[in-house]
Structure 1
Amino acid sequence: MEVLVPIDGSECSFRALDFAIEFARRFEATLSVVHFTDSETDATDDILDRARERLRESDVDCEPEVSTDVELSFRPGDRIGEDILELVEERGYDHVVMGHHGSGTIDRAILGSAAHTVVEEEAVPVTIVP
């Protein structure tokens, strides 16, 4: 089983990573950890370093990667959700584990939600970690 874990640096995305690590152990799955962004910055390096540390501590063989093919616009969450779905299709992932901030209706209307976009599409099983 191939599992995609999108991370954005938030605590909920790292809780999702922790869940995915345990999920991978339990079901003998392979993890792919990807950070989606429109440009690499020092913050990107920090996010990847945090992910590497968690993976190393858990003895999981996975090198986090960055996808910079994102064009962030008015609703960046929706755009990132669409990019996650494109990657799922391209690479044939069997499952997605991702965090969700639990933002309210107003935040969802303005910013969108990557998790909501991925779940709505029903293209792949998704586990949402709050």
Structure 2
Amino acid sequence: MTILVPVASGPLRDRVLQTAIELGQALGEDLYIVHLVEEETADGTAKQIRDEIRERVRSADVAATVSLEYVGHGLARTGPRIGQDVIELASDVTVTHIVMGHTSKGLLEEITRGSAAQAVIDAATVPVTVVPDTTG
């Protein structure tokens, strides 16, 4: 079975990856790591991040597939849209768990942008592990 690990750019990515690697090792499951990008065609930076993620998991004792995935931001509340995209990814692969990050937002940003993690938790049919951003 597979653990879906959607990651974005930013400092939380490393903590999410480490949590997913440890969970994959403990459960003996493969990881499907998806770097979420905002452009339909991946630029050099996105490909570099994908390659860095591949290198990181290569040294871990867990099987992993790493890819890039475009997430559309057509809605004003981008968090729920990203969450919906993650749920669609989970339905494309036999996923037994989802590991993702969450950065707390202020009330105004929560109202206007929403939360991808909350959208995934609400819609997922598998367990979801949310890795909080503790830098703030």
In structure 2, the gaps of 5 or more residues are: none
In structure 2, C-alpha distance between the alignment counterparts of 1:101 and 1:109, rounded to whole Å: 14
Name the one with the larger helix percent.
1
Name the one with the larger strand percent.
2
In structure 2, C-alpha distance between the alignment counterparts of 1:61 and 1:109, rounded to whole Å: 38
CA contact (8 A) 1:85 1:123 kept: no
The 5 A counterparts of 1:18-57 are 18-39=18-39, 40-57=42-59
Instruction: Tell me whether 1:60 sits opposite 2:65 in the alignment.
Output: no
In structure 2, C-alpha distance between the alignment counterparts of 1:99 and 1:13, rounded to whole Å: 7
In structure 2, C-alpha distance between the alignment counterparts of 1:106 and 1:50, rounded to whole Å: 34
Q: In structure 2, the residue corresponding to 1:123 is in which secondary structure?
A: coil
Provide Cα deviations, 1:42-96, integer angstroms capped at 9, x if missing partner. 231232122112102214332310122x321322221111010011122121100
Q: In structure 2, the residue corresponding to 1:63 is in which secondary structure?
A: strand
The 5 A counterparts of 1:1-130 are 1-39=1-39, 40-68=42-70, 70-73=71-74, 74-130=76-132
Larger relative contact order (C-alpha < 8 A, sep ≥ 6)? 1
Provide TM-score, normalisation by structure 1.
Answer: 0.88
Aligned residues: 129
In structure 2, C-alpha distance between the alignment counterparts of 1:48 and 1:11, rounded to whole Å: 15
CA contact (8 A) 2:5 2:99 kept: yes
In structure 2, C-alpha distance between the alignment counterparts of 1:76 and 1:41, rounded to whole Å: 21
In structure 2, C-alpha distance between the alignment counterparts of 1:109 and 1:54, rounded to whole Å: 35
Q: Supply the RMSD in Å over aligned alpha carbons.
A: 1.6
